[in-house]
Amino acid sequence: MTKVATIAAEVNRKRVLCRVSIEVLREKWGVSEEEPMRTVGENRIALQAAARKVIENEAYEEDGSIIIRGENIS
């Protein structure tokens, strides 16, 4: 079972993986574990804004990805 949904962003012509846990999706939008990407698609604007905040704060993980946390989502 998927525990994390991953979307991609482009920053300075480089691909950045943006991860959000199923738990965060469930807390924010009541997602079922079977359809996390539907929720990601339906809430793309909010997730993109959250990813932008994390990237602007340069809060990258060691592998260069970012993690979108509940507090990042408006």
pLDDT in the model for residue 37: 86
Give the strands of the sheet with 66-68, arranged side by side.
4-11, 14-21, 66-68
Angstrom distance (rounded) from CA 39 to CA 29: 7
pLDDT in the model for residue 63: 97
pLDDT in tens for each of the 74 residues of the chain? 568 999 999 888 999 999 999 999 999 998 777 788 889 999 999 999 999 999 999 999 999 999 999 999 99
pLDDT in the model for residue 52: 94
18 neighbors 6 (Cβ within 8 angstroms): yes
Structural domains of the chain, ranges and CATH numbers in brackets: 4-72 (3.30.160.140)
73 neighbors 53 (Cβ within 8 angstroms): no
pLDDT in the model for residue 18: 97
pLDDT in the model for residue 35: 83
